[in-house]
Structure 1
Amino acid sequence: MTEYDLTTVTAALSRRDWDDSTDGEVRFALVGLGWWTREYVLPVLTDLDACAATVAVSGTASKRESVVDDWDRVETALSYEEFHEGVAVDEYDAVYVCTPNATHLDHARAAADHGKAVLCEKPMEATPERAAAMVDACERADVPLIVAYRMQTDPAVRSLRTAVRDGLLGDPVHVHGHMSQRIGDIFPDGNWRLDPDLAGRGGSVTDLGIYPLNTTRFLLDVEPVSVRATASSDGELFAEIPDERASFEVTFDDGTVAQCFASQNAEFSAGLEIVGTQGSLRLAPGFFDAETQRITLTRDGERHSVTYDPVDQMREEFAYVAHHLLRGEPVDPTGAHGVVDVATIDAIYDAAESGERVSVDTDPDPAE
């Protein structure tokens, strides 16, 4: 392995591998105006040529009114009830859903009823059955359902995906992934991610563990078969969830095994390493896109590293989705893809409770 080989692999770290020359604009209704929408989504939608935010939807009047006041293109503020009833339906073309997990289905179903494409934050829902019901709703309405896995539209990750699939590492053997943060420092007054009624069965695997899980699926084009897991919670902040910290092992359909760790109460850290028969690839901090990234490639006993400043992943995600919608092209990752992650997370919690290996049901029955 020479330095030139690594340069070839990393040459397209910030270059889009899809056609972004389409004319037109997709107008988004933003459903849910929490910190992520206000701090990470609205800023990137101010100057993207292919899309814009035009409608703000929230259950809190002050939030939606402040967004209309602060952002020029956002001219309409709606309550959730008004959005569901179809008020101002002609003022947007697609819907971005960024609310607590257990509420995604209701908002996505309403968007589908209005004939609008849906971009839904991950995880899709709190249960596999409700995630499957979202897929059904959008299929019946014949509208696209896209899950907002920002790693999948990051040019660097897409470049690495091509290299890995072209045999850069030989045959994948095992994966190590981790992601952790101190949620109490981020949200000192508490947060819905620690409320099972809103988040689902847990907080660390659901919110953080999904990153190494889905990024592995994307890079290797594999599907989970079975899982093992452990989880524990000691702190008062985590009294309602089982996974203040969790470790889990996922066996995929090609035999690759991923070992992952997630915690909402540990040092701010993340990374992903793929080990193959001919080499290894490490991305760190990986899932935290505001940090300088380092890619380390080891092959035949030689190690090479490169650092780079990442793109704004939310900008890439919305640009990618908007251009594909404008061109009438299929948009990945689909809802069906997202259901598999929700089902895998559900199996991880089952495995942590039982102490046994649990098979993943990748085709759950939709909830009523």
Structure 2
Amino acid sequence: MGLESYFEDFARRDWQETVPDGTVRLAIVGIGGFARNRALPAIDASDYCETTVLVTGSPDSSLEIADEYDVETVSSYDDFLEGDATDAYDAVYVATPNATHGEYAVAAADRGKHVLCEKPLDTTVQRARATIDACDDAGVTLMTAYRLQLEPSVRRTRELIEDGVIGDVVQIHAGFSNPLLEQAGPESWRLDPDLSGGGALVDLGVYPLNTIRFLLERDPIAVTATTHSTDEAFADVDEHVAFQLEFPGVVTASCTASYNSHPTSGLRVIGTEGLVSVSSPFGGVVPHDIYVECGDVGMEYGGAPGDEVLEEFDYFGYCILTGTEPEPDGEDSLRDIVAVEATYGAAASGKTVEIPSLE
């Protein structure tokens, strides 16, 4: 099969086998910057989801947002936890600070509601496992918001790897940087380790980590790492992180993340017979620029930008409406949390740390 076949209908939804009827009514728990600027517009454009409830710490000041998206019900966090307006939604999208994810996800599951939760599920392995167990016990769908897994460039890259186009994968290089203070300011909850669970690694480094695991369809077995914080604003969390993951066999992945450098991202997969390079895979609105080299043949594709957040919500709605198990489930996030804990351990000790298996 020629390289050009991978670029035909590049943005195809290979996860979609049918066109389901209806939509999933969502309660958006937490309407901070990402939810307002990215999630709500994406849901509004979605085929399979709609927003029917907003849950916020400031219901009165959120009425303008509710009007903009024609949302009739606005609840406080306490009212949500007490079961307010449960007839008005079928599922929740949890977008609160990391350490509170589990609380709201479990409350939703206990009322028979499906859950789409921002990464990570929680800030510790134990609490993440409790969320998974609560959703399993309730028989509801739990999906972690790993939107990169729905991004066409990433999906096409996995196909190229699976088909052996670049031979056996040997090395992967990936990085993601975003200047936090330019967007969120020094009062951001992301700078509070009790709420965030960490800094650049937890918020940005997890994108390369999860994407690489998705591409290889295997988990890392060991990690070495360094973290640095020089700006006073990042005194309590990691400002910069570099880590190298070891996978079974000979595959290594070198990853970086930064809270205080020029915004950029990149992904490069090198095999024994070729390579795949994806431009700006981790930015949200992805340009669909990908370069593939196989032996002496190289081919570049550049497509119109796609909104992976929209893809994420359509995928979540599709899974619920069709009874499909989402690929980025709760276990997927749990494996990342285990790897993140090992990475911080490696950075603190200066030694290679084995990553425990969940098997």
Q: TM-score range by the shorter chain?
A: over 0.9
Give 2:328's aligned amino acid.
P
The equivalent of 2:124 in structure 1 is 127
* Equivalent position of 2:217 in the other structure: 221
Root mean square deviation of aligned Cα: 1.6
- Cα distance in 2 for partners of 1:180, 1:236 equals 18
Partner of 2:227: 231
8 Å CA contact 1:184–1:190 kept in 2: the answer is no
The answer to whether the 8 Å contact 2:152/2:288 transfers is no
In 2, distance between residues paired with 1:67 and 1:110?
24
Q: Does the 8 Å CA contact 1:12/1:159 hold for their aligned counterparts?
A: no
1:284-303, aligned counterparts within 5 Å?
Answer: 284-303=279-298
Is the 8 Å Cα contact of residues 116 and 145 (structure 2) preserved in structure 1?
yes
Partners in 1 of 2:234 and 2:296 — Cα distance?
Answer: 43
Distance in 2 between the 1:30 and 1:47 partners?
15
2:3 partner SS: helix
Match of 1:224, SS state, is coil
Contact 2:40 2:51 in 1 (8 A): yes
The number of residues matched between the two structures is 358
For 1:208 and 1:289, the matched residues in 2 are separated by 12
* 1:265 equivalent among 241, 260, 268: 260
Aligned position for 1:154 = 151
Q: Structure 2 matches for 1:55-74, cutoff 5 A?
A: 55-72=53-70, 74=71
8 Å contact from structure 1 (residues 289, 310) kept in 2: no
Partners of 1:230 and 1:47 in 2: CA distance: 41
**Unaligned runs of at least 5 residues, structure 2:** none
Alignment of 1:1-368 (within 5 A): 5-17=2-14, 18-72=16-70, 74-200=71-197, 202-241=198-237, 243-363=238-358
The 8 Å contact of residues 57 and 64 in structure 1, kept in 2 or not, is answered as: no
Structure 1 pair 82–262 and aligned structure 2 pair: CA distance change class (3 A):
same
Q: Which amino acid aligns with 1:235?
A: D
**TM-score normalised to structure 2 length:** 0.96
User: Using the alignment, how far apart are the partners of 2:240 and 2:55 within structure 1?
Assistant: 33
Q: CA deviation at 1:303?
A: 3.0
Shift of 1:253: 2.9
Q: In structure 1, what is the Cα distance between the partners aligned to 2:58 and 2:27?
A: 16
TM-score (norm 1): 0.93
Deviations 1:279-316 (A, max 9, x none): 11111111113353421112214432222222111111
Contact 1:281–1:298 under 8 Å retained in 2 = yes
Q: Partners of 2:266 and 2:129 in 1: how far apart?
A: 30
CA contact (8 A) 1:119 1:147 kept: yes
Paired with 2:320 and 2:249, the residues of 1 have a C-alpha distance of 32
Letter matched to residue 168 of structure 1: V
Alpha carbons 2:186, 2:233 under 8 Å: kept: no
- Identity across matched positions, percent: 41
**2:246 partner amino acid:** T
Which runs of 5 or more structure 1 residues have no equivalent in the other structure? none
> Secondary structure of the residue that 2:230 maps to in structure 1?
coil
Q: Cα deviations across residues 155-213 of structure 1 (Å, max 9, x unaligned)?
A: 3322221221111111111110000011111123431111101100x211101101111
